[in-house]
Chain A
Amino acid sequence: KAGVTQTPRYLIKTRGQQVTLSCSPISGHRSVSWYQQTPGQGLQFLFEYFSETQRNKGNFPGRFSGRQFSNSRSEMNVSTLELGDSALYLCASSLGEQIQGPPLHFGNGTRLTVT
């Protein structure tokens, strides 16, 4: 079974630009969540999508947005990039069923550098 795939692996952008990151979950997984990892703040939850609907959202400004498609693939968009947005962005997928807490399966991440 293929794992969670994130593209691109590395990205360099300039302040003020916008960026879109992509995540393909494990086949059959309907929940996709996004995390930002920085040395200062650690791993922080951005948002989670289930069946094309945003189900949970972390404490991030509106510049951070996402969406999920009918095939469960998800994209995350950051507009008006700031230097502080430089981070490793991790995507995780799970079955998403509210039965028991399924473990998250993470991708390798996209390392975004804002200059």
Chain B
Amino acid sequence: AQKVTQAQTEISVVEKEDVTLDCVYETRDTTYYLFWYKQPPSGELVFLIRRNSFDEQNEISGRYSWNFQKSTSSFNFTITASQVVDSAVYFCALSDNYGQNFVFGPGTRLSVLP
């Protein structure tokens, strides 16, 4: 069975601090996809990144970066120089090779204080 664990329920940081959100996944598939979504107070889930299981390259997009380590089944997300607008619930998710059977982690609520 597929499973996603986000051990951090809530994190609070002060603006401009760096913060890392942890994600650990379980799957028996050899090919799968990992995702990060952001859910601001408005409720809509916003897609941040998709990573194929064969692509272990880390990725950086502006203040966001992702560290995918297959050996530890982790796909961690770092926000550098956090801003108040980053406050949201962040979900890590896993899907099968066909982009189906999505499983979401419980989410991490990030509060960035001014």
A contacts, CB < 8 Å to B: 33, 35, 42-45, 48, 55-56, 88, 90, 92, 94, 96, 98, 100-109, 111
Contacts and interface: CB of A to CB of B under 8 A. Distances in A.
A109 B33 CA distance: 24
B44 A45 contact: no
Contacts, number: 57
B47 A101 contact: no
Given A42-B106, A108-B42, A101 B101 contact: no
A98 B107 CA distance: 27
The A interface, classified by DSSP as helix, strand, loop or mixed, is strand
Given A42-B107, A43-B91, A101-B97, A109 B43 contact: yes
Interface residues of B, number: 25
B82 interface: no
Interface in B69-114: 91, 95-107
